[in-house]
Amino acid sequence: MGKRVLMQGNQAVAEAALVAGVKVCAGYPITPSSEVIEILSRKLPSFGGRFIQMEDEIASIGVIIGASATGKKALTATSGPGFSLMQELLGYAAMVELPIVIYNAQRVGPSTGGATKPQQADIMQTKWGSHGESPRITLVPGTVRESYDLTIEAFNLSEKYMVPVIILSDELLAHMRESVEIPEKNEIKIINRRKDVLPQGKYLPYKVDETQIPILPPLGKEYRYNISGMIHGENGIPNLAPGIIDSCIKRINTKLDKYYDDIIKVEYLKNDVAKIAVLAYGSLTRPARGAIKKAKEQGIEVELIRPITIWPFPKREIREVAERVNKIIVTEMNMGQVAELARGTIEGKAKVIQLNKVCSRPITVDEILNKIKENIE
C-alpha cells in the first residue's frame, strides 16, 4: 500500500509526470494550470530533467516536440488561451508522430474569458483545433487521484502509439484538494517507446510494420532521418503525389483504430431497469453520482455513463447505453459539445437531453435530479 497525502489536482499531475519519466517541461504560466510548471521547475533537475520557462505557449509546445524528437518524455501545461496558441504545432506533432503530453486545465472562454472560473468548452478544440485531420488521444479525469493515474496513462499511451495525448481537466479539479493514496512504484506500469529498430542502412522512419506505429529512434545519436510536417512517404521526405497524400493521411488517422479497446476508458453505473441515463464527465461526475443516488432513494432508477477517454470518442459504449434506455441526459459546462457528439453517435436510438451551464458554477446535484424528474415517462 502506498502513502496517503493531501494533494491538489495540479500537484497530482506534476508528481505523476515525474513518476512517468518526464525529462523536459517547457511552459508559460497561465491560470489555472500554473502549479504544474511551478512544481516541475523545482523538482525536475533532481530527476535528471530540465524545465524551461518560455516566452509563450507556441514556443512551449515547440520545445517539447523537439525534446521528444531526441527521445525524451516531454510535457507542457496550459489553459484555454494558451491551448489555442498551440494548435498548429499540435497538428505538427500528430503529423510527424512524435509523442507529447499536454495538460489543459479548462477555464471560461472564449478569448481571455475568466482565468479563475471553470468550464468544459475545449472538447471540440482538443480534437479539431488544428487544421486538417490528425489523431490524438484525450483523457478526462474526474478526481485528484485520477489526475495522477491518467497523467501516467497519458505518457504511456503517447509513447506506445506515437501520438499527442491531452489531459483535459478544469479549474475545479485543478485546484481541488483530496486525500490521495499514491501507489507504490512497483504497482505502476510505465511504457517507453519502441527501440527495436532496423539498422540504419535498412531504416525508413515511416515504414511501419503490422502495428501501424512508426519507430523513431532519438535524433542526434547514431540514426539520421528526415521528419517533416508536410505530407511524406515512408522515408519522411515531403512528397505531394496524390497516392502518397492519400496513404499518409489515411494511415495517421486510422492507426489507432485497432487499439480502441486499449485506449477507450468508460465508467458505468449500470442499471438494467433504468430508462434514463446520465452522461457526465470530468468534475461533473460527482454531482451526477449524487443525483443518481437521490433519484434511487425516491424510487427512480437511473444509469450513469462517464467517458474517461473523450477522444477517440467512445461511440460503441454510448450506443450500448442507448440500446438500454430511452433518454440520455448529458451534463456539461458548455453549450452542448458532447451532447452533439452523442446525438450523432446513437442515431436516434435514444433521445439526448441537454443540461448545460456556462456561468462558471458547476451543475448541482439538485439540478441534475430535477432534470431526471422532468424526463420520467
Q: What is the CATH number of domain 268-374?
A: 3.40.50.920
With CA atoms as reference, report the closest residue to 140 among 267, 304, 294, 275: 267
Strand partners, 276: 302, 327
- Read off the C-alpha cell for 302: 437511473
- Read off the C-alpha cell for 53: 520557462
Give me the sign of the Cα torsion angle 94, 107, 139, 304: negative
Tell whether domain 4-187 is in CATH 3.40.50.1000.
Answer: no
Residue 377 has a pLDDT of 74
CATH 3.40.50.920 spans which residues of the chain?
Answer: 268-374
Q: For the chain (length 377 residues), average pLDDT per consecutive 10? A: 90 98 97 97 97 97 98 98 97 98 97 94 96 96 97 98 98 96 92 94 95 96 94 97 97 97 96 95 97 97 98 97 96 98 94 96 97 92
Show the DSSP H helices in the chain as ranges.
9-20, 34-43, 57-69, 80-85, 87-96, 123-128, 144-161, 171-175, 242-254, 260-263, 285-297, 315-324, 337-346, 365-374
What is the C-alpha R_g of the chain?
A: 21
CATH 3.40.50.970 spans which residues of the chain?
Answer: 4-187
- Read off the C-alpha cell for 61: 509546445
Q: What phi, psi does 372 have (nearest 5°)?
A: -60, -50
pTM of the model: 0.96
